[in-house]
């Protein structure tokens, strides 16, 4: 189990938001925290502590009036910590190489590999060829509907028809080197982890998996480690002291090492 930091960028600023509140219409979201620091500041901080594998996420769609400002922030973070961070948000076969050249260790892809609620096999194969399996992370973030987890796309706003289960994980693992999975219904709320989802992810050991969503305490970290059998990495957003929360980065690292 490892700590994977995050740098979420929305409307050109580093923020923590409630994931389920994000809307493209009007570029709005419920905000938990807006940083006075730019993205490069956090990238350098993670680099100084030797924390690798974090993700920089662009939360605006490419057609947004804020997209270029958001992209500039992301690129500055990648340049500040070359090879130490992954980049995601609106990435596809045509622009993935640019993010890798900007310093990303991996690109994170979701919406591009789904169309009309189904897996877009052609796009999945195309992005895998373009960047290589070893530099591709698939974001299989999910929400519960009728008691079942479904993968969601387009900044978590659209349900697909694809159930997140062991079979789905096995299939997608053939195309990427890692999964990033947000429990969207609890993302940004710091109300506790989705133990059912973590238990599912803990049964999978073919490639690394990073879980995000709801972590609010050091006890949640211990629960996640136990429920995920020590296999599931974790990212913490709103509860982290860097983003206005009460959980101290150094104590998080210490708790995970125990």
DSSP code per residue over 20-73: GG-BTTTTB--EEEE-SS-HHHHHHHHHHTT--SEEEEE-S-TTSTTHHHHHHH
For 54-63, the pLDDT digits (tens) are 999 999 988 9
Average pLDDT in the chain = 93
Q: What is the pLDDT of residue 22?
A: 67
Q: Which two tokens stand for residue 98?
A: 């640019």
Mean pLDDT of 214-219: 94
For 230-251, the pLDDT digits (tens) are 999 999 988 999 999 999 999 9
For 93-128, the pLDDT digits (tens) are 999 999 999 999 999 999 999 999 999 999 999 999
Q: What sections of 102-238 are H helices per DSSP?
A: 121-131, 166-172, 195-202, 218-227
**CB-based contact 47:66 (threshold 8 Å):** no
**CB-based contact 9:57 (threshold 8 Å):** yes
């Amino acid at each position: 189990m490892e700590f994977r930091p995050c740098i979420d960028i929305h409307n050109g600023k580093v923020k923590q938001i409630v994931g389920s509140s994000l809307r493209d219409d009007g570029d709005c979201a419920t905000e938990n925290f807006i940083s006075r620091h730019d993205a490069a500041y956090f990238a350098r901080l993670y680099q100084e502590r030797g924390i690798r594998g974090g993700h920089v996420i662009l939360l605006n769609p490419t057609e947004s009036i804020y997209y270029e400002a958001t992209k500039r922030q992301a690129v500055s973070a990648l340049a500040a910590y070359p090879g130490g961070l992954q980049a995601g948000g609106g990435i596809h076969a045509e622009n993935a190489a640019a993010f890798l050249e900007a310093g990303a260790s991996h690109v994170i892809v979701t919406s591009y590999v789904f169309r009309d609620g189904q897996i877009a096999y052609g796009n999945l194969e195309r992005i895998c060829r373009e960047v290589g399996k070893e530099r591709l992370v698939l974001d299989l973030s999910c929400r519960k509907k009728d008691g079942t987890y479904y993968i969601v796309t387009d900044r978590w706003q659209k349900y697909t028809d694809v159930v997140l289960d062991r079979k789905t994980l096995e299939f997608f693992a053939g195309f990427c080197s890692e999964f990033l999975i947000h429990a969207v219904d609890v993302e940004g709320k710091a109300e506790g982890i989705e133990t059912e989802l973590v238990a599912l992810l803990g049964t999978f050991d073919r490639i690394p998996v990073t879980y995000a969503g709801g972590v609010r305490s050091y006890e949640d970290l211990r629960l996640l480690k136990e429920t995920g059998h020590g296999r599931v990495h974790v990212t913490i957003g709103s509860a982290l002291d860097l983003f206005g929360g009460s959980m101290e980065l150094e104590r998080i690292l210490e708790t995970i090492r125990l």
